[in-house]
């Protein structure tokens, strides 16, 4: 069903992009219409991200990421913190970390997706001038962030299309992380302590 939905979306996205490209080539277009077209392009971009996420979920479910290798999770986390430095700085978020060496046997691309999605989640659902704490042990990763109280059922945070009013995302980031964790029999848990949101991943 996910694959069928992804292919349907792909066709719709292709048609919408083609029509938008034709409209924007009109020399008589007004500034107001340009603004409306930009909003439409933004909506198409969201559909494109949704389509990619659905295809990724399908690939994970069908075990298409079968290759495994030794992944140095500590090094991967440090690389991703550097990669997201501009996003972190833009919101003046403080990073506290205690990262010990940890090695996992898994697909490297899926490991990257897990860390990407967890860090993006911690940044997007944070306050201005907030904080993120990252703790990595040999058999456990914990990422916590400050943020507004959760408005969805805490037991449903890893379900597809669950998102808060403050989120610009599609509600698939943590669902993808959960799917990968299930693939490798990792345990993932969410908890909340006042304005602190905590995700623990046990290998």
pLDDT tens digits along 5-33? 555 666 666 777 777 777 777 777 777 87
pLDDT tens digits along 127-162? 999 999 999 999 999 999 999 887 777 778 888 655
pLDDT, mean over the chain: 84
Three-state SS across 109-166? Answer: HHHHHHHHHHHHHHHHCCCCCCEEEEEEECCEEEEEEECCCCCCCHHHCCCCCCCCCC
Closest CA to 115 of 85, 84, 88: 84
Q: What is the pLDDT of residue 129?
A: 96
* Of 152 and 171, the one with more pLDDT: 152
d(CA 106, CA 203): 11
């Amino acid at each position: 069903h996910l694959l069928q939905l992804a292919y349907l979306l792909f066709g719709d996205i292709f048609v919408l992009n083609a029509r938008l490209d034709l409209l924007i080539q009109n020399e008589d277009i007004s500034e107001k219409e340009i603004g409306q077209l930009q909003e439409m392009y933004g909506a198409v971009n969201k559909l494109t991200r949704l389509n990619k996420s659905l295809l990724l979920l399908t690939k994970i479910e069908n075990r298409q990421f079968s290759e495994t290798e030794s992944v140095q999770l500590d090094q991967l986390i440090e690389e991703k913190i550097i990669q997201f430095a501009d996003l972190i700085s833009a919101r003046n978020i403080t990073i506290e970390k205690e990262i010990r060496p940890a090695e996992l046997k898994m697909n490297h691309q899926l490991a990257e997706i897990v860390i990407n999605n967890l860090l993006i989640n911690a940044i997007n659902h944070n306050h201005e001038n907030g904080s993120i704490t990252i703790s990595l042990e040999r058999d456990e990763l914990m990422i916590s962030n400050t943020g507004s109280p959760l408005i969805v059922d805490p037991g449903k945070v890893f379900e597809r299309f669950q998102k808060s009013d403050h989120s610009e995302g599609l509600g698939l980031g943590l669902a993808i992380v959960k799917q990968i964790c299930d693939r490798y029999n990792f345990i993932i848990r969410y908890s909340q302590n006042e304005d602190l949101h905590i995700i623990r991943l046990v290998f």
